[in-house]
Amino acid sequence: MKRIAGILIIGVWLLSGCSYTFAHEDGYRMAVINEGFPVPNNAYEVKPEDCTTEIAKSAKYKMNNIGDEEGTPPPEYLKEIEKWGWTEMLDERVGNVHYFKKNGKIMSLIIQRDVFDVFEMSDEVKL
């Protein structure tokens, strides 16, 4: 019985390891904090950062190969965000922190190698 359980655990681990890698073809879904902001379908949600006076809502996702060493997001992901109606605020970008605006809302996207954060900025923040 222990052997079967061990094999099942290893099998699930191997399958999940393969499914959490960025691939534009896998599509996109709504972020848990904002229904109008896309995240890759196969991104795995983990415990988000705490909110502050500047951040109204936050979500953290784990996904292999989402960004490079400098935190550059895949170009396909940026195009998808634009397709969903968000405009990048290029003048406000700081390193790997990207800001997007739509209908008066500001979202922040912070990409790292295998993890990314999505923040809905509070209405008090004016960029």
In this structure, the chain runs to a length of 127
Q: Taking residues 105-126, what's their average pLDDT?
A: 90
Domain ranges of the chain: 2-121
Residue-wise pLDDT for 15-31, tens only, equals: 444 445 555 557 899 99
Confidence band (pLDDT; 50, 70, 90) for 13? Answer: very low
Alpha-carbon span 77 to 81, nearest angstrom: 6
Tokens of 120: 């809905």
pLDDT of residue 51: 79
Between CA 1 and CA 13 the distance in angstroms is 18
How far apart, in whole angstroms, are the C-alpha atoms of residue 54 and residue 18? Answer: 35
- What pLDDT is attached to residue 67? 87
Three-state DSSP at 120 gives: strand
pLDDT tens, residue by residue, 50-95: 878 899 999 999 999 888 888 888 999 999 999 999 999 999 999 8
Quote the mean pLDDT of the chain.
82
